[in-house]
Amino acid sequence: MLQPLLPTILEQRIVLASGSPRRQEILKRIGLKFEVVPSKFEENLQKSSFAGPHEYAKATARGKALEVADRLYSQVKKPDLIIGADTVVSLGSDIIEKPADEEDAFKILKRLNAKTHEVVTGVVLVVPSLTGTEKFATVEFHESTEVCFGDLTDEMLKGYVATGEPMDKAGGYGIQAIGSSLVQGIHGDYFNVEGFPVYHFCKKLVEIYRERQLSSAPRTDQDC
CATH for 151? 3.90.950.10
Residue 87 lies in a domain: yes
Contact 105, 172 (CB under 8 A): yes
- Residues catalogued as catalytic: 86
Residue type at position 154: D
Residue 183 lies in a domain: yes
Contact 2, 30 (CB under 8 A): yes
The residue segments making up the domain with residue 35 are 3-216
Total structural domains in the chain?
Answer: 1
Flag whether the pTM goes above 0.85.
Answer: yes
Distance from C-alpha of 189 to C-alpha of 143, rounded to nearest angstrom: 8
Look at strands 136-149 and 116-128 and give their pairing: antiparallel
Residue 224 lies in a domain: no
Q: What is the pLDDT along the chain (224 residues), one digit of tens a residue?
A: 899 988 889 999 999 999 999 999 999 999 999 999 999 999 889 998 999 999 999 999 999 999 999 999 888 889 999 999 999 999 988 999 899 999 999 999 999 999 999 999 999 999 998 877 778 999 999 999 999 999 999 999 999 999 999 998 989 999 999 999 999 999 999 999 999 999 999 999 999 988 877 766 555 555 54
What Å distances lie between residue 107 and 111, 171, 181, 208, CA to CA? 6, 10, 18, 42
Residue 223 lies in a domain: no
Contact 14, 34 (CB under 8 A): yes
Residue 221 lies in a domain: no
